[in-house]
A and B are shown apart, each in its own frame.
Chain A
Amino acid sequence: MSIPATAAFTATLGRELRIATRHKAEWLMPPLFFAIVVTLFALGAKPGDPQLAALAPSVLWVGALLAALLTLDRLFRGDLEDGWLEQVFVGPAPAMGMVLAKLLAHWLLSGLPLLLLAAPLALQLGFPSGAPLGWLLLGLLMGTPLLSVVGGFAAALTVALPRAGLLLPVLVLPLLAPVVIFGSGAARAAQAGLDPGGPIYFLAALLVLSLTLLPWAATAALRNAFD
């Protein structure tokens, strides 16, 4: 008997979203954190400094990255501790479907809110509205899933470790260097009136590459946690 991966995917996605509704406050923290980081950055600069707008893409990207990290540590941990993961791995459904659903749920719950918040925060930093803002958001639309996928892989690697909190960012951040470069690169190009198509295509390529390679690696890392 075998269960199609899509069944595992939809069942897990529904489960994750339902669990999230029981913890509303928890999912408000990453956007709040994001808003606070960006605001503090603006407060640290000279009032009305035109350089603030120039640095806005970088600030928004690093802020989004750190905010997404907040919830990563717990992505698989609860399920490992209460024995859910081992039941899924022993069961007939492909574990990869479960992993993909958890990654999508993480993006929906902690990536998407950042995306919605990014527009007002960018304007607050003096980033030009209109087309450049659109490119910034398009970059984030493709970049935030990358944060979830790469971060989810690192979370899976460290799930069995008692003190993963410090190790996790060290593993994730170097892997995300190209995402930050292309993401804020697209926004800066648009800001300067250049064509941001190049970095956007690279981001799309990175997203496709990560989506093919990393869910497999994350599943293997989770299986490793039972040893």
Chain B
Amino acid sequence: MTTLLSATALCIGRGDRRLVSDLHFALQPGDVLHLRGRNGAGKSSLIEVLVGLRPPQSGQVHRSAGDAFHWVGHRNALNPDLTLRENLDCWCALNGVPGDGIAPALDRMGLARLRLRPARTLSAGQKRRAALSRLLIARRSLWLLDEPLSGLDGEGLAVLGQLMNEHVTGEGAIVVTSHQTLPGKLPRVTVIELG
């Protein structure tokens, strides 16, 4: 079994506040790591350290070499003046992904008829779906999702649940932060309570 993501003795903090201390885990294909905790407990900070945006205070993060990952942050990375399609096209170019996956991904997320609308005209839930549609455009084995459920309606939750289920049955692994219970059938979920 390959380990997709592991942390050893990981300590992270903001300023001089220690948020997470001595965290160990190893994520194998099929695993879901569910990070829970109150607001400000360090869920987003932990994900930002795991993707390499910020350095940890101490300890190590190891991602399996050569394997790209997907990070959906709590911000959607959509420019308000560009259309949905333009936003995703540019993201594809910057990530070295062919753009022919965009149309089916938007279809699946129920955004196909909105693709030529400027992102500023979309609702919060629609923007969230657009951010999540990137998971389908490029298939990557490791997903790191920061509050993916926020703003999604029932239908959106169902689609996300399906996506996550397909991902873990197809040898993928997921790290996800959420206050809510995760949607979809997920066979192996480890919960870490922060704070």
Contacts and interface: CB of A to CB of B under 8 A. Distances in A.
**Direct A–B contact present (CB less than 8 angstroms):** yes
Contact of B94 (A1, A11, A19, A83): A11
Interface stretch (A91-99, A108-116, A176-184, A202-210): A91-99
B82 interface: yes
A8 B79 CA distance: 17
B48 A19 contact: no
Chain B interface category by residue count:
20 to 34
B141 to A, nearest CB: 12
A79 B87 CA distance: 12
Contact of A86 (B77, B80, B82): B77
A92 B93 CA distance: 11
Contacts of B74: 83
Given A83-B73, A86-B53, A15 B82 contact: yes
A84 to B, nearest CB: 5
Given A14-B90, A18-B82, A90-B53, A83 B75 contact: yes
A93 B96 contact: yes
A1 B96 contact: yes
A89 B53 contact: yes
Contacts of A90: 51-53, 71
A98 B77 contact: no
B66 interface: yes
Contacts, number: 78
Contact of B73 (A78, A87, A227): A87
B86 A12 contact: no
Residue in B48, B73, B81 whose Cβ sees the most chain A Cβ within 10 Å:
B81
Contact of A11 (B51, B79, B93): B93
Interface in A67-101: 78-79, 81-84, 86-93, 98
Nearest to B95: A91
A227 B12 CA distance: 12
Given A1-B66, A86-B53, A93 B81 contact: no
B78 A8 contact: no
**Interface of chain B, main secondary structure:** loop
B54 interface: yes
B121 to A, nearest CB: 12
B54 A227 contact: yes
B96 A98 contact: no
Nearest to A22: B81
B58 to A, nearest CB: 16
A46 interface: no
A8 B94 CA distance: 5
B15 to A, nearest CB: 9
A7 interface: yes
Given A1-B96, A7-B96, A98-B94, A226 B54 contact: yes
B8 interface: no
A6 to B, nearest CB: 11
Contact of B77 (A12, A83, A93, A227): A83
19 contacts: A7-B96, A11-B90, A12-B94, A14-B90, A15-B86, A18-B86, A79-B79, A81-B75, A82-B77, A82-B78, A83-B76, A83-B77, A84-B78, A86-B75, A87-B71, A87-B94, A92-B95, A92-B96, A93-B96
The 4 lowest CB-CB distance pairs between A and B, nearest first, are A83-B75, A11-B93, A83-B77, A22-B81
Given A15-B79, A83-B76, 17 more contacts: A3-B95, A3-B96, A7-B94, A10-B93, A12-B90, A12-B94, A18-B86, A82-B76, A83-B75, A83-B77, A86-B73, A87-B71, A87-B77, A87-B91, A89-B53, A92-B68, A226-B53
